[in-house]
Chain A
Amino acid sequence: MAESLVLRTTVNGTAVARAVAARTLLADFLRDDLGLTGTKVSCDAQVCGACTVLVDGLPVSACSILAADADGRGVTTIEGLADDDELSPVQRAFTECSAMQCGYCTPGFILATEALLADVPDPADAEIRHALDGNLCRCTGYRPIMEAVRLAARLRQEARQAEAPGDATPPGQRPEHNEVTR
């Protein structure tokens, strides 16, 4: 192992093996090596969330993680959510609520929402704000995004009940530590 390595990862369900320089950041690997330009780069400092992707289901800042750290793991980008042109419930909710203007932050928000709802299927507003506090939007003022997340939770619930009617919603993992002064 030296200044480059062979990266073996799965991106949106497809196995990928590429030689990359060790210094390659995941965002650049996705955008430049794989041509998946849906993941956006903005602040380069892991605070804006535009580059959010899921690695083994966990939200990460692709701008601040080595591509090498995806080795042996599964990466999900915005391109991997729609199933044969059928949008995910989160994507549908963002569409229905027009929860975007310029759209640059949108892939990041959608993936962060996917991560949130996987953890907490029915989040309260305070939980939504806490989870998405690390995703910036400069256009909307956030109101339609909140609406979209609430709708997405409902749509996912409906989809679950359609698949398995009568199953109770699995309890979410609620954060318990809210001693937030500010």
Chain B
Amino acid sequence: MTAGGSGEIGGHSVGRVDALAKVTGRAGYAVDHRLPGCLHARVVRSQRAHARLTGISRDAALAVPGCVAVITAEDLLAAAAGRRGTGPLFLRFGHVVPDHWILAHDKVRYYGEPVAVVVAETPYAAYDAAELVDIDYQDLPPLMTPADALAADAPALHPDRYSGESIMPGTASGEEKGTWQPNVAYQADLAWGDAEAALASAPVVVETSGHFPMLFAYPMEPYNAVASFRDGILEVTSSAQHPFQVERDLARVFGLPLSQVRVQVPYIGGGYGAKSYTKIEPLTALAAWYTRRPVKLVLDVEESIYTTRADSADVTVRSGFERDGTLIARQIDVVLDTGAYLDNSAQVLEKSVNRCFGPYRIPHLQVTARAVYTSTSPASSYRGFGAAHCSFASETNMDLAAGQLGIDPIELRRRNLVARGQQLLPGRRAMDTDLADDLAVLREAITGYRPSGGRVLRATGVSCTVADAGALPSSTAQVRILSDGSVVLHTGATEMGQGSHTVLSQIVAEELGVPLAAVRVAPQDTLTSPFERTTGASRTTTVVGSAVQRACRDALEKISRMAAEIDGPGPRDGRPAAAPDIRGRADFAKVIRAWFGPGGGEVAGVGVVRRAGNFAQLPPFWEVGMVGVQVAIDPDTGQLDVEHLVTIGDVGKALNPAGVEGQDLGAATQGLGGALWEELIYDGQQIANANIIEYRVPRISDMPGRIDTILIERGDGPGPYGSKGVGEGARGPMGGAVASAVAAATGVWPDRLPLTPERIWRLCQAGKATTATGEPGDGERPRGVAEEAGK
């Protein structure tokens, strides 16, 4: 039996299998889902950043016609005590540290934290009633920044360490290491050699620091869930990227076996990591449990902002170089502001440690990193985390060094890049790609387009990251060949726009030799889909795709054996005929019909990927992030236009090139948003711009003048047909690339993002001041390609 297909996959782009549903409005999202007789919920939120809860007035709310209940954590605990057949409720979630209160209990830790949930017959009644609920507070000192939280006299936001309750083994809390500090939610570090000594003796030492702001991923579908709880079975529909993670948290809340919990996820209206792990599913489920009726909860965008933001980061980088540009040592410190609850920021921190020093050979390294609790909204994953947080500081550090050393910035990087087969991180998979070649392609592309004219400052910036991507290689897929030879694919990988349904269908079509139109992806449903740990970390094509491939081959093997059985023993020697090559709908249908007889039947194949074989080493693959921007700055207004954007997609094999380019451009666009406009701003205890008017995301008029999303295919990925994962790489390096271009244009190094027009104008002013006096301004005058054209 020949494995693989006709070799048609990749090279050309097939249309998305969900396009028709999405252009007709028929595509269903969780927010469109409802159940008959369901109640509607609205959350009552804390008006304080840090306070004891001393009382709640709910009479006025309950008097609103249609209001059914106003539920607090205390109500839930009391109800559980009084309800037969219910064990104690576990009112927190969190897959690394279960610190996240579903409803605030005893105290609130951030402005906007859910304190009560109102449930009513209509959304209007729920809204009106929620407006009438009054909470009494006893103020505690708010810790609005990591500095506040790390101060010697700062109160502990979480007195309880929860470490005994973590359900994720091997987590590195300070308690295990004996270095725990109050308000340090998580810490991680990495070291080899002796960075301190190496820096002391290095010929050239360059230091940068950078502030990466709080961001909001802004998936356009807000967080929402529908929950029903009946006869001991909990069913939830939500927009969760990881339904099985949510299932586990829900099971824990109610003490249910996993088999009694069901999480269904239809199309997700944007994820980007912001919908990874548990959000408001437990809250909705508890409301359903309490009222004994189905409940639907839809957050508005302000509430979504308060539910999950991206960690902000303060990063300092000290690098030591030889005079020829060889990196000797890097010493990096990272502080993440993870808000009131840790959520996935433990992972964000771990990846920050791994991704902060760049794709370079570094003989001596020291990275210290802490995620700090503050009285702000909870922070968690956002596309390409770690690389995004840290490369702003670490990559501008390379450009700064290039200026001091008198070496071209791209050349400086090239000299230090880890080569294929070399170790970037000890004990991990060696570098699995040709970074120097990727960089050469980037160099050629970004210098190939030179618009001119206009009274602008023009400059170019590039930035490089590499990320240990793919998360954990654990995936199961099931393929069912139906009696007419059409196919259903069961996978726990969710479709949030990244194209998982399409690519996985393509693999099935390729492996089984059936038309794409004959492949259907079953909806993601923990009751019927095989276990998938997560959908994220750019892992689906590679890891899930491999499971799908194995499932197809398993099905083919089975059907071939069936065919051999039908044919019976061979004509001469009595042995069974050689297993024939059965592929394609017609062949499948024939064999199934013959083998099962008139009753009919189907053939199921299962594929499993785990940490073995070509996935034995972590990470499953390295995800390259290399981007270049050419910018034009109007020095009179600070307006920055991106004239040219180049992204490098080192993809191994592009199973759907248009899909890959779309993911790269989408990631780059979010990166540009964070580099130029986006920032959640705290004003006192609350977020001043928690709406899409004032939190400005990229628009169609912001499109770069010229866009080159370049794909590099060397067939060197561990995924199907030599593929690797994509989707996050282009976001990480964008801040550094833009900052470098701005520095080259203005003469001043920025130390924070976003680079709004006002900030750029101020850099221009400061740069002029530098020129006028001849004395150094804010950092070294950058080497670069700044030209004031057409003045």
Contact between A and B in the complex (any CB pair below 8 Å): yes
A39 to B670 CA separation, bound complex (whole angstroms): 24
B637 contacts which of A37, A101, A181 (Cβ < 8 Å)? Answer: A181
State whether A48 and B221 are in contact (beta carbons under 8 Å apart), knowing that A141-B669, A144-B662, A182-B637 are contacts in the complex. no
A–B pairs, 6, beta carbons within 8 Å: A40-B31, A44-B301, A98-B662, A104-B219, A138-B217, A139-B497
Chain B, interface size category, equals 35 or more
B385 within 8 A of A: no
Which of B262-270, B352-360, B740-748 lies on the face that meets chain A? Answer: B262-270
Q: Does B449 have its Cβ within 8 Å of any Cβ on chain A? A: no
A62 at the B interface (CB under 8 A): no
Please provide the chain A residues from 91 to 138 with a CB less than 8 Å away from any CB of chain B in the complex: 91, 94-96, 98, 100-107, 110, 128-130, 132-133, 135-138
- Measured in the bound complex, the distance between the Cα atoms of B494 and A102 in whole Å is 11
Pair A135/B700 contact, Cβ less than 8 Å: yes
Q: Are B23 and A106 in contact (CB under 8 A)?
A: yes
The reply to whether A38 and B707 contact each other, CB–CB distance below 8 Å, is no
C-alpha gap A177/B62 in the complex (Å): 55
Query: Interface readout for B28-46 with A: 1 if CB under 8 Å, 0 if not?
Result: 1101100000000000000
With the chains together, A77 CA to B26 CA distance in Å? Answer: 12
A16 within 8 A of B: no
Pick the contact of B499: A95, A101, A128, A181 (CB < 8 A). Answer: A101
Q: Which residues of B contact A82 (CB under 8 A)?
A: 24
Q: Are B269 and A141 in contact (CB under 8 A)?
A: no
Task: Say yes or no: A87 contacts B23, CB within 8 Å.
Answer: yes
Counting CB contacts under 8 A, is A47 at the interface? yes
Q: Does B703 contact A (CB under 8 A)?
A: yes
**B220 and A50 form a contact (CB under 8 A):** yes
- Nearest 8 Cβ contacts at the A-B interface: A38-B25, A102-B497, A101-B497, A103-B22, A104-B269, A78-B25, A141-B665, A141-B669
Task: Look across to chain A and name the residue whose beta carbon is closest to the beta carbon of B730.
Answer: A141
Residue of B nearest to A97 (CB): B658
* Alpha-carbon distance between A139 and B662 when the two chains are bound, in angstroms: 8
**In the complex, are the beta carbons of B703 and A143 less than 8 A apart?**
yes
Question: Cβ of B665 and Cβ of A87 under 8 Å apart?
Answer: no
Is A168 located at the chain interface by the 8 A CB criterion? no
Say yes or no: is A43 at the interface (Cβ < 8 Å to chain B): yes
Q: A94-B19, A104-B270 are in contact. Are A136 and B697 (CB under 8 A)?
A: yes
Residue of B nearest to A103 (CB): B22
Given contacts A43-B691, A44-B301, A95-B20, contact A102 B701 (CB under 8 A): no
Q: How far is the CA of A179 from the CA of B24 in the complex (A)?
A: 37
Chain A residues whose CB sits within 8 angstroms of the CB of B670 once the complex forms: 138
- Given known contacts A43-B692, A94-B23, A140 and B662 CB-to-CB distance under 8 angstroms: yes
Chain B residues engaging chain A, CB cutoff 8 angstroms? 13, 15-16, 18-29, 31-32, 123-124, 217-222, 267-272, 300-301, 496-499, 637, 639, 658-659, 662-663, 665-666, 668-670, 691-693, 697-701, 703, 707
Q: Tell me how far the C-beta of A61 lies from the nearest C-beta in chain B, rounded to whole angstroms.
A: 12
Q: Does residue A21 face the partner (Cβ distance < 8 Å to B)? A: yes
Using known A-B contacts A101-B499, A103-B267, determine if residue A48 contacts B220 with beta carbons closer than 8 Å. Answer: yes
> Which residue on B lies nearest to A92, using beta carbons?
B23
Q: What is the CA–CA distance of A48 and B19 in the complex, to the nearest angstrom?
A: 21
B19 touches A100 (CB 8 A): yes
Chain A nearest CB: distance from B584 CB in Å?
27
Contact of B221 among A40, A101, A107, A145 (CB under 8 A): A40
Q: A42-B222, A136-B692 are in contact. Are A101 and B498 (CB under 8 A)?
A: yes
A102-B700 in contact (CB<8A): no
Q: Which A residue sits closest to B670, measured CB to CB?
A: A138
Q: Is the CB of A138 within 8 A of B15?
A: no
Give the shortest distance, in Å, between A95 (CB) and chain B (any CB): 5
CB nearest neighbor in A for B637: A182
Verify B269–A102 contact, CB threshold 8 A.
yes
A158 close to chain B: CB less than 8 A: no
**Contact present for A142 and B28 (CB under 8 Å):** no
- Docked-complex contact B691 and A45, CB < 8 angstroms: yes
Q: Does A73 contact B (CB under 8 A)?
A: no
Residue A18 interfacial (CB < 8 Å):
no
Write the chain A residue with the least CB distance to B217: A138
Assess whether B270 is in contact with A102, with CB atoms less than 8 Å apart: yes
- Distance (Å) between the CB of A127 and the closest chain B CB? 11
Contacts A37-B25, A96-B15, A138-B272 known; list 10 others, CB within 8 Å: A95-B19, A95-B23, A98-B658, A104-B270, A130-B701, A137-B700, A138-B270, A138-B670, A140-B662, A143-B703
CA distance in complex: A130, B217 (Å): 24
Cβ contact within 8 Å between B25 and A98: no
Which residue in B26, B123, B699 is a CB contact (below 8 Å) of A38?
A: B26
- Contact between A102 and B221 (Cβ–Cβ < 8 Å)? yes
* A44 to B693 CA separation, bound complex (whole angstroms): 10
